[in-house]
Amino acid sequence: MTHKNTVGFLGGKYLPLHQGHIYMMLESSNLVDELFVVLSSSKNRDKELCAREGIKYIPAEVRLAWLGQALNDVSNAKIIHIEDDQWNHNYDWKQGANMIKEAIGKPIDFVFSSEKSYDEHFKKYYPCAKHVVVDDKRKTVTISATDLRKNLYDHWDKLPNCVRSHFTKKIAIVGTESCGKSTLTKKLAKFYNTNHVHEVGRDYCEKYSNQLTVEMFDQIGMDHYLLQKSQAEKSNKVLLVDSDAVITQYYLDMYFQGHKSQLVEEIVKKQDFDLMIYLEPDIPWVKDGLRFAGEQETRKKNNQILKQMYTDRGIDFVSINGTYSERFKKSRTLIDNLFETK
């Protein structure tokens, strides 16, 4: 007697994907030969839902990437994306079921969910399938997406690493030479028990004894940007970033007057910092063998040049000054304010 392959599916909006969803997928995959994980998305509905609940909008392609990473070694799981404009209060179950059946393209034996209340709908629209409820009491992973959206940061441990990177608050510490960027970045990272991204340009300055080429600035910009991406997945709610692509452009002009990198300018456009803290050059100049613009009038002039570069690009920043202690306290207040629930 030949074995009939069993087919099951579970669906959701995954706004956002969390460990409860992943547990459901893994447990469901254990019960069937073939599991279809269906992402249901609607740009209008999902944008409104995210805005209403105060979280950053999550495009469908981002959620699909999350699912891809979560299921990349679950061999019997397949991901399907269905776009619809149906809303929760008037969801057309018949239409939704028809879209899912058509997308799967084979008889469905099991429908998985975490809600017993769906029994009636599944019996009506999937009469040949058995409804299996997984962890309806939320005992294995004690959270629902609805509760999670109310305060993501209080339930950070329920988010997979790939999802955390989407919601990690990225804070750039910027300013001209010898204004305490690196010192403040490292201290804030220690205080928030998280990662930081160092100033990659300084690596190049040290490696080449300040003898840089124009082409190196493209590499500096890319290395710094990609380091932010990789560190965001490993961070604890916030990521502190020493400098940014505008500063790379600023130093390119300082080293090679009149030069501008188009690649670095594209990186500037892709930056998505939640907060940019601009340090005024009102602390003593520290000579370290690499810096070369320490005269007070030069510091003031360069400070205005860099500020204008941010203004010209429409980039908002918060300027702070004072002693090292005052800067540390002011920065903490600014960062903490990012997490205040509205």
Span 165-185, pLDDT tens digits: 999 999 999 999 888 999 999
What backbone torsions phi and psi does residue 36 show, to the nearest 5 degrees?
Answer: -105, 125
CA nearest to 275, candidates 226, 237, 326 = 237
Q: What is the mean pLDDT of residues 222-240?
A: 95
Q: What mean pLDDT is reported for the chain?
A: 91
- 7-162: CATH, from 3.20.20.70, 3.40.605.10, 3.30.160.70, 3.40.50.620: 3.40.50.620
Position 1 confidence tier, pLDDT thresholds 50, 70, 90: very low
pLDDT of 87 reads 63
At residue 170, the 3 state secondary structure works out as: strand
> Where is 230: in which H helix or E strand?
helix 214-232
What backbone torsions phi and psi does residue 60 show, to the nearest 5 degrees?
Answer: -60, -40
pLDDT of 88 reads 60
Q: What is the mean pLDDT of residues 30-35?
A: 97
At residue 315, the 3 state secondary structure works out as: coil
For residue 85, is pLDDT > 80? no
CA nearest to 28, candidates 1, 14, 7 = 7
Question: Are the folds of 7-162 and 169-337 the same?
Answer: yes
Report pTM: 0.86
Q: What is the mean pLDDT of residues 36-62?
A: 92
For residue 228, is pLDDT > 90? yes
* pLDDT tens, residue by residue, 105-156: 999 999 999 888 889 999 999 999 999 999 877 677 777 788 888 889 999 9
Place of tokens 């209008």: 44
Distances (CA, A) of 282 to 159, 178, 324: 41, 10, 10
Bridge partner residues of 317 (DSSP): none
Domain boundaries, the chain: 7-162, 169-337
Query: Is the alpha carbon torsion for 105, 145, 112, 131 positive or negative?
Result: negative
Tally of CB atoms within 10 A around 331: 23
CATH architecture of 169-337: 3-Layer(aba) Sandwich (3.40)
**Which residues in 238-337 belong to E strands, given as ranges?**
238-242, 275-279, 318-320
Bridge partner residues of 152 (DSSP): none
User: Tokens for 251?
Assistant: 């130093």
